[in-house]
Chains A and B, each alone.
Chain A
């Protein structure tokens, strides 16, 4: 590794630390929660932040955690929650996504109208997204 690459890696590593990221994500979440759904502010924030993380995830600018080469057969257990969620969501979506047949977003919308819940959802989304970027 030449000196400039080494410096770049050190800066990326420093930026990737929780001490830096948690306050940044918290600030974005607190600001993002001010914007209701379907507002221009929410659209711009999600597109800008999501786009930045998408770009970071495709570039080599962040250090990545190791992943196993192969999954054990027991990984199939994950099909249970995955398929349950997919089937219940699909049934309710094709049944019209109504009060009687609520999709996940129908159920989440009233909760996400509250400021704190919305801020927590932003924070959870950013943390999960960052986890993917680092994979």
Chain B
């Protein structure tokens, strides 16, 4: 059914719209909402021992995104 497809598209658009709205709110002066970059920065600091697990996962995920959308 095409309605199901439109629901899925609406879900994706809603998610991206919410992300854009949050990023806008985060960049307002005095905002206590962190930006997406700040969240990524904190996640990338996660380590297990000397291994920068957060950094490896985030950089690897970004690499995979490029491969998935642009090469596959």
Contacts and interface: CB of A to CB of B under 8 A. Distances in A.
Contacts of B8: 88, 91-92, 101-102
Indicate the size class of the contact surface on chain A.
35 or more
Given A58-B52, A135-B44, A84 B70 contact: no
Indicate the size class of the contact surface on chain B.
35 or more
A81 B15 CA distance: 4
Contact of B59 (A58, A87, A99, A104): A58
Q: Say whether chain A's binding surface is mostly helix, strand, loop, or mixed.
A: helix
Nearest to B58: A132
Contacts, number: 142
B16 A68 contact: no
A67 B41 contact: yes
B38 A71 contact: yes
Interface of A: 32, 37-38, 42-43, 45-47, 49-51, 53-54, 57-58, 65-72, 74-75, 77-78, 80-82, 84-85, 87-89, 91-92, 99-102, 104-105, 107-108, 112, 118, 121-122, 125, 128-129, 131-133, 135
